[in-house]
Amino acid sequence: MKVLVSTDIEGVAGVFHAEQTRAGNAEHERARLLMAQEANAAIAGAFDAGATDVLVNDSHGNFRNMPPDGLDARARVVQGKPRYLGMVAGVEEGVDAVLMIGYHSRARGRGILAHTINSLAFARIAVNDRELGEAGIYGALAGERGAPVAMASGDDAFIEENRTLFPHATFVQTKRATGHTSGVSLSPAQSCEAIRAGAAAALRRLGDAQLFTLACPVAVRVQTQTPAFADLFCQWPAMRRLGGDEVAFDAPTVEAAVRMLNSLSAMSASLR
């Protein structure tokens, strides 16, 4: 059994503020170790359940947060960008399941540090008229590659948003959101224990898991944070302007849509 562990940071126990998610400060130095500990818990759970090969994908920001020498030596590490499959890079190797660790609520959601892909540029993303966050978008990309999301961890708002997308997945709640930058968290040790147990349990009943897929071609609508981003994105001829702060495009596959969204995200840096 081959497993991909996709690890973000905003849903990790003990992470509440944007400073903890940005490289170059002491808060991030500590948070990235917490992120690595939760990744290790999922890796251990996967091997407990009989996995023979585990890849761990660093899925936050610049995709190089977790110290490689701090990760379980049995796993292979996917880090760095750009990469076409983003948060589920590694799924192209033919994995049997994806575990989403440290994930968060979608943009405009009620979860801790809620956003979708790029908090500077994107206010809302809808695919085939269904508003999705990162878990939904990348879960659909994994599904397109034949891999179900078997387990996911994050706060209560994240779980509530995504339970219907992955009804057979095991969800582990690491904290409860009381605001965008506040909540009540498990201790790191409790969170890791729950993640390890949840990962193992999910993979032991992998036969119950279902693929989350989207009908293709896909229609994508992006509400931007300001009209200036819509101005910028419409420099790309594939974009259609729907309103002052909204653009749209069509893509033949979910993978193509993800690559286009990540290209828009990269473009947005020019307006910082």
Given 155, 186, 208, the domain boundary residue is 208
Exposure on the CB side of residue 170, measured as CA atoms within 13 A: 24
Q: Are residues 62 and 162 in the same domain?
A: yes
Q: Does the pLDDT of residue 272 top 90, yes or no? A: no
Q: Are residues 71 and 189 in the same domain?
A: yes
| Backbone dihedral angles phi then psi of residue 166, each to the nearest 5 degrees | -125, 70
Q: Are residues 194 and 228 in the same domain?
A: no
Given 171, 188, 208, the domain boundary residue is 208
Q: How far apart are CA 17 and CA 15, in angstroms?
A: 6
Mean of all residue pLDDT scores within the chain:
97
Q: How far apart are CA 66 and CA 79, in angstroms?
A: 9
Q: Does the pLDDT of residue 108 top 90, yes or no? A: yes
Q: Are residues 186 and 58 in the same domain?
A: yes
Q: Does the pLDDT of residue 239 top 90, yes or no? A: yes
7 and 59 in contact (C-beta within 8 Å)? yes
Q: Are residues 258 and 154 in the same domain?
A: no
242 and 221 in contact (C-beta within 8 Å)? yes
Residue 115: the pLDDT is 98
Residue 91 domain boundaries = 2-208
Residue 88: the pLDDT is 98
Q: Are residues 265 and 175 in the same domain?
A: no
Q: Are residues 168 and 62 in the same domain?
A: yes
Is the whole-model pTM more than 0.85?
A: yes
Is residue 213 domain-resident?
no
Biggest CA-to-CA distance, the chain: 52
The pLDDT tens digits of the residues spanning 206-227 come to 998 999 999 999 999 999 999 9
Residue 60: the pLDDT is 97
The pLDDT tens digits of the residues spanning 22-51 come to 999 999 999 999 999 999 999 999 999 999
Is residue 173 domain-resident?
yes
Q: How far apart are CA 152 and CA 251, in angstroms?
A: 27
CATH classification at residue 193? 3.40.50.10780
Q: Are residues 93 and 184 in the same domain?
A: yes
Q: Are residues 72 and 131 in the same domain?
A: yes
Q: Are residues 185 and 232 in the same domain?
A: no
Interval 81-102 mean pLDDT: 97
The owner of tokens 């790029």 is 118
The pLDDT tens digits of the residues spanning 57-71 come to 999 999 999 999 999
Q: Are residues 71 and 183 in the same domain?
A: yes
Q: Does the pLDDT of residue 187 top 90, yes or no? A: yes
Torsion-angle region of residue 141: left (phi > 0), alpha (psi -120 to 50) or beta? alpha
Given 174, 208, 242, the domain boundary residue is 208
Is residue 131 domain-resident?
yes
Q: Are residues 68 and 122 in the same domain?
A: yes
Interval 156-165 mean pLDDT: 98
The pLDDT tens digits of the residues spanning 137-158 come to 999 999 999 999 999 999 999 9
Is residue 65 domain-resident?
yes
What pLDDT band is residue 93 in, cutting at 50, 70 and 90? very high
> What is the tally of structural domains in the chain?
2
Interval 247-267 mean pLDDT: 98
